[in-house]
Amino acid sequence: MSALDKTRQKYLFKWLKQQTKQHRKPLFYSILLGFISAGCIAIQAALLALILQELIILGGKFTTILPYFIVLLLIFILRSFLTFIREKINFSLGLKIRQTVRQQLINKIEINGPTAITQHTSGGLTTLMIEQIEDLHDFYARYLPQMRLAMIIPIMILLVILPFNWSAVLILLGTAPLIPIFMILVGMGAADVNRKNFKALSYLSGHFLDRLKGLMTIRVFDQGKQQSEQIREAAENFRIRTMNVLKMAFLSSAVLEFFASISIAIVAVYFGFSYLGEFHFGSYNGTVTLFAGFFALILAPEFFQPLRDLGTFYHAKAQAIAAADNIQKFLTDQSPEIYDQENQFINFEQTITSIIGKDLIILSPDNQPIVGPLNFTLKAPFRLALIGVSGEGKSSLLNVLLGFLSYQGSLTINDIELKQINIDSWRKQLSWLGQNPYLINSTIRENILLANPHASSQQIEQVVAQAQLSKLIAQLPKGLDTEIGEDAVKISVGQAQRIAIARALLKPCQLMLLDEPTASLDNQTAQDIETILANSYQHSNIIMVTHHVNQQMQLSLKWRLHNHQLHNITE
């Protein structure tokens, strides 16, 4: 596991800041409100110093200082209001940027397709999409606004103190650089520590989810203890990484507090000796007033507070850089794309008349040839059975047509190159059914509506009847609103396939792609499914991947894919 070098960290930090381009106004308002709030603190300090000067030196009465107290209270209320508004702006800023980055990831997944996503573990993708995106929040909501304020507010406080005492300004100015210097020394490697923590979390998530899915296999082969030990080791590794992150965060806070306390103590010692008559410098008129001393001492902690806050949020920067490393790599992944959005200039709204492949080579997500070169011509209407043993590339051909795999050579639809067709308009002409259709953890109705969210109840009832689901649904207490559970555990494989057929039927199509839809079913259920498909798609073009051809489907064309070549089968 290589460490993040400085060049990479600088690049990622720049990339993180670039995400604020569309959100500069909220960032500006946050900084402005923080600056105004700091100005309120300076006024409060002046009022407190005036009150103490009036009471201790001038012997003033309560009625004299009452206006100061009223103004002090009003400013306190104003500061609270400004803090509330600023927190809302900061949270909104972090939320909007997280939503933007998450949408970029979703768009990337959609462009690359499901075949490219199989290169990543489910747990790793979950960690990337949820935890690591969430870890960007504090960078935008806390660190980035505070980084600007940490440069502005200390200068403002120095300028405010300067007219009253220049020695206090020099003390603060002389000790302030120590904090960022030691923060840099302590924080070196913080981003890499967080990155290793993310890697450990991603591995633990993927490893645990994988073992959970294969629990039956693990028990059958008596591997429970071994797998439990592996999970324990992964969890222990994550614990160690997490403690390293916390150690770094606590050490940074300790360094900040140490140098800030020393600086404030030096200012207090200076004023103490000045009042004792030991020091005779710093004041413009030769006398250090009580007002100047209290004013400087009240503002001294506020001088370091922006730096303290920045240090507190420094771990947010390290976390964000570590998360950005994985996010940016995913977004810039060079997996071949089936289509280039900039060159998609044709909306496919015509009737399919032909599909022609010339020297077609299908590429894997890592840009390696899977099958080909293939040469074929399909003239509509066609009902094609694509036969072959497992691993020959039959499903890959369907994935190319679905827009999930890239290719070399030529693949035209009605003499139009597929790469030039708007992929969304092309997919509207397709429907698909596989051997293990995915059903979401929801109701039967919601699963069917995935094909057409705006379908009417009458349309749903029609496809339910076509898929021979009416009897099953009538037996269920909640009918179409019955929950099927995760991975459709509450229904049989055949019932799940019928729900998938109903979903496919709800989307009218010109080309139906069938990827061994009966492979995991018993003979009777398989025949029933094929009969349903044959009756439902009498007027559609069909390409069916299969190991054997049944008469029910009435497939007039039969091609065998063997040794990466297509051969016509004649009977």
The confidence band for 194, taking pLDDT boundaries of 50, 70 and 90, is low
- pLDDT for the residue numbered 29: 92
Return left, alpha or beta for 487; rule: phi > 0 is left, psi -120 to 50 is alpha, else beta.
left
Is-contact 545 534, C-beta < 8 A? no
In DSSP notation, 329-352 reads HHHT--PPPS--GGG--B---SPP
**Which of 387, 339, 337 has its CA nearest to residue 562?**
387
Give the pair of three-digit tokens for residue 548: 């054997």
Give me the helices (H) in 276-338, please.
290-312, 314-331
- pLDDT for the residue numbered 30: 92
Averaged pLDDT, 457-475: 81
Averaged pLDDT, 365-377: 82
Averaged pLDDT, 123-149: 84
Which of residues 67 and 489 earns the better pLDDT score?
Answer: 67
Least confident interval from 122-136, 498-512, 518-532 = 518-532
- pLDDT for the residue numbered 156: 92
Per-residue model confidence as pLDDT tens digits over 310-351: 877 777 787 888 888 888 888 887 555 555 555 657 888 888
Which neighbouring-strand residues pair with 432? Answer: 513
Per-residue model confidence as pLDDT tens digits over 22-34: 888 999 999 999 9
Give the pair of three-digit tokens for residue 256: 């900040």
Q: Give the integer Cα–Cα distance in Å for 227 and 307.
A: 47
What is the residue-averaged pLDDT of the chain? 80
The confidence band for 470, taking pLDDT boundaries of 50, 70 and 90, is confident
> pLDDT at residue 360 above 80?
yes
Give the pair of three-digit tokens for residue 116: 């490219």
Strand order in the sheet with 541-546: 430-434, 511-515, 541-546, 383-387, 557-562, 565-568
Domains and CATH numbers, the chain: 14-331 (1.20.1560.10), 341-568 (3.40.50.300)
The confidence band for 308, taking pLDDT boundaries of 50, 70 and 90, is confident
- pLDDT for the residue numbered 1: 40
